[in-house]
Amino acid sequence: MTGESGTRIALIYPELLGTYGDGGNAIVLAQRLRWRGLPVEVVEIPAGESVPGSCDIYLLGGGEDEPQVLAAEGLRKNNAIAWAVTEGAVVLAVCAGYQVIGTSFPAGDGKIHDGLGLVDVETRRSFDSSEQPLPPRAVGDIVVEPAPELRLPVLLGYENHAGRTRRLPDGQGMPLGLVRKGIGNGTPDQTDGIVDRHVIGTYLHGPVLAQNPALADLLLSWVHGPLPALVGPVETEVLRRTRMRALEVSA
């Protein structure tokens, strides 16, 4: 998939889906390619412009309610990302972006909007019976034990969302992992996120790839195959050790 210009990373609608620092995921991916001597191009797709189908990696971040609805409307106008995914493209969608790539999600007023349907999940404020009070907003540090198939170390991040997200019955894909600390999907199976083909949805901010470089390299290997080894940056190792100590999480 990688053309002469190198790996193309699309940062989707950063002005709508960039409220929680998730644009950092593009910085991390690009640097981890550059540091390996591999060419890379980050393509910012401003809201209102059509999304090209020719990118290797699509990044969607968190956003507030109205921008999220606007982003979903914009992305539904052409199905470039869905087409690219069938061609093997990688998608990392965080928080509001995760909700948008599912089949449906609620806006601030409770109205249900259509998502892109890239993955078989749906989001609501609650899946409990209507007599139950709505669950509180999920805000705080989150730690996820990734699905063993992914061969990743423990995932660290920060979550800040009101929605609860569940897989559709008989849906494709598997959860990204089990929640060790925090809320994540907020469903009884205590999972966070979804992985289906090369699409990952998750509630982890941080940005998630800054705190979890192994996940960044997994996405890059989906584009490139096996990657040249990259040591460091040593700062990330220090950060992960510090956070795991602070959160009382063992590796």
Partner 1 sequence: MDMHRGIGNRRGEPWHADEAMTTPFPRRFSARTRAALAVEKLASSASRRLGRGSGEMIGGKLALQVSPQILTEVAAGRLAACVSGTNGKTTTTRLLARALGTLGPVKSNSGGANMAPGVLAALSRPPYDATAALEVDEIWLPKVARAIHPRAVLLLNISRDQLDRSNETRRIASLWRELGAELPDATAVANVDDPLVVWAASGWSNQIWVSVGQNWTADAMVCPQCANLLHRNPTGWWCSCGLARPEPIVAVTGPSEILWFGRLITASIDLPGRVNLGNAAMAAATARLFGVEVEDALAAMTGLGDVQGRYQEVPLGANGVHGRLLLAKNPAGWVEMMELLNTTPARPVIIDFNSQTADGRDPSWIWDVPFERLAGRTVLVTGGRKEDMSVRLAYAEVPHTVHPDAETAAATVHETIVDVVANYTAFRDILGRVAPMRTTT
Active site amino acids = 95, 205
Distance CA 16, CA 163 (A): 18
Smallest gap, in angstroms, from Cβ of residue 173 to partner 1?
Answer: 26
Q: Which is nearer to partner 1, 69 or 116 (CB)?
A: 69
Exposure class string for 143-158: b at 16+ Cβ within 10 A, else e: bbbbbeebebebbbbb
Which tokens belong to 242?
């510090």
Q: Say if CB 26 and CB 101 are below 8 A apart.
A: no
Out of 43, 150, 239, 249, name the contact with partner 1 by CB under 8 A. 239
Q: Which of residues 66-125 bind partner 1 (CB under 8 A)?
A: 66-67, 69-70, 108
Question: Does residue 140 come out as left (phi exceeding 0), alpha (psi in the -120 to 50 range) or beta?
Answer: left
Q: Which of residues 150-179 bind partner 1 (CB under 8 A)?
A: 158, 160
Considering only 2-10, 78-86, 136-144, 191-199, which stretch makes contact with partner 1 by CB under 8 A? 136-144
Distance CA 42, CA 37 (A): 15
Considering only 132-140, 166-174, 181-189, 223-231, which stretch makes contact with partner 1 by CB under 8 A? 132-140
* Cβ neighbours of 86 (radius 10 Å): 10
Q: Which is nearer to partner 1, 83 or 139 (CB)?
A: 139
Q: How many residues bind partner 1 (CB under 8 A)?
A: 41
Q: Does 206 bind partner 1 (CB under 8 A)?
A: yes
Q: Pick from 139, 59, 61, 70: which is nearest to 108 by CA?
A: 70
Q: Which is nearer to partner 1, 180 or 243 (CB)?
A: 243
Q: Does 3 bind partner 1 (CB under 8 A)?
A: no
Q: Which is nearer to partner 1, 84 or 156 (CB)?
A: 156
Which tokens belong to 103?
């089949």
Q: Does 10 bind partner 1 (CB under 8 A)?
A: no
Considering only 78-86, 137-145, 195-203, 217-225, which stretch makes contact with partner 1 by CB under 8 A? 137-145
Distance CA 195, CA 235 (A): 28
Q: Which of residues 24-63 bind partner 1 (CB under 8 A)?
A: 24, 27-28, 31, 47-48
Q: Which is nearer to partner 1, 224 or 243 (CB)?
A: 243
DSSP 177-234: EEEEES-TT-STT-EE-EEETTEEEE--BTTHHHH-HHHHHHHHHHHHSS-------H
Distance CA 232, CA 248 (A): 23
> Strands across the sheet with 104-106, in order?
112-114, 104-106, 121-124, 164-167
Q: Which is nearer to partner 1, 119 or 211 (CB)?
A: 211
Give the interface with partner 1 as residue ranges (CB under 8 A): 14-16, 18-24, 27-28, 31, 47-48, 64-67, 69-70, 108, 137, 139-141, 158, 160, 205-207, 210-211, 232-233, 235-236, 238-239, 242-243
